[in-house]
Amino acid sequence: MAVSGRLVKIHGLYVITDPLPPGDALLNAVAGVLAGGAKTVQYRNKSADPRLRHEQALQVRRLCWQHGRTFIVNDDPDLAVAVDADGVHIGREDPELGTTRRLVGKHRLIGVSCYNDLDLALAAQAQGADYVAFGSFYPSRAKPQATRADVELLLRARPVLQIPIVAIGGITPENGAPLLRAGADALAVIHAVFGCSDHRRAAGRLARLFTNEGVQRDESKPD
């Protein structure tokens, strides 16, 4: 299964496919972001019928594996199992973590949305989550009413979380570096890559943040 039959740690550029047009446009866009340096692709489509979602998820998973990258399914543990995804990402309205683990097995990743709640992230870690996501850190086109988080949350979270931290929400090449310096292991984006005509270039600009000397971790501790 997965990128080589083993669990991988979430890190680097993490892209989420929603919204994207169907058919070849979806696969071409995903191929572009993978070529640009995306490490993880999350398939997210809340409007398609189950048959189309299965078909699309399977196609995107195959493409990710061809590039040796991680493939995650949003919200749907059953779909993650059906297409042999590397993992599933769940939020507050999805099956709870223990139920999800029983559905997807020990060999798949489970990510948990924790919004701006460090206690929720600590609980997820204790229950066996493989990574947590905080956000929205900036105004988000995908979720304009999303709960807002701030950099101080990352500074508090990094010393007490042993699992990867994903930052999400309105992230761009211009504002992503402070989140990495504060402790994020991955930056999750939608519009910053899929809202651009050149998907490879857009992904490349974000991926370079992870190699830039300017994103060295801020070792200072919050008061």
Residues annotated catalytic, as ranges? 44, 113, 143
**Is the separation of the CB atoms in 196 and 173 below 8 Å?**
no
The alpha carbons of the chain give a radius of gyration, in whole angstroms, of 16
Side-chain-side CA neighbours of 4 within 13 Å: the count stands at 5
Q: What does each C-alpha distance from 204 to 12, 35, 185, 217 come to in angstroms? A: 11, 8, 17, 21
Exposure class string for 69-83: b at 16+ Cβ within 10 A, else e = bbbbbbbbbebbeeb
Q: Which residues pair with 177 in a beta bridge?
A: none
